[in-house]
Amino acid sequence: MIKLYWSPRSRSFTTLWLMEESGLPYERVLTDISTGAQKAPDFLKVNPMGKVPALADGDVALGEAAAICAYIADRYPETRLAPAVSDPRRGRYLQWLFFSPGCIEPAIIQIFTKIEIPTSTAA
């Protein structure tokens, strides 16, 4: 059975939502980052980066929330969560799949950490 390793108050939420939408049977494995569970040797075998979310599906193991979403949608097309590779809507699907980790998250982190990131290197 698919195992989704998750922690409260983390990026796990996207993947928990995805798994519920998928209708696939899966097991939630609590990996509480407030206790350091993400650095336990057994978890590091699933995601050597020591981060949640992570997913194990048979011999497949991966981290990264967007990658987990893409993996489930492609591996289980019966869930109808993604346009097929040949579908013209595939391009926009990929654009929005990567928009959150590529654009929204860095902006949120910048706001919360108040780190100034120069928008231009011009003098």
**Of 10 and 22, CB closest to ligand GSH:** 10
The least CB distance from residue 7 to ligand GSH, in Å, is: 6
Q: Count Cβ neighbours within 10 Å for each residue of 6-27 and write b for 16 or more, e otherwise.
A: bbeebbbebbeebbeebebebe
Closest CA to 68 of 52, 80, 83, 79: 52
The least CB distance from residue 39 to ligand GSH, in Å, is: 7
The least CB distance from residue 120 to ligand GSH, in Å, is: 26
**Of 80 and 99, CB closest to ligand GSH:** 99
**Of 45 and 80, CB closest to ligand GSH:** 45
**Of 17 and 87, CB closest to ligand GSH:** 17
Q: State the pairing for strand pair 54-57/2-6.
A: antiparallel
The least CB distance from residue 118 to ligand GSH, in Å, is: 23
> Residues 53, 6: contact at Cβ < 8 Å?
yes
65-75 vs 12-22: helix crossing angle, rounded to 10: 10
Residues that bind ligand GSH (CB under 6 A): 10-11, 33, 38, 50-53, 63-65, 101
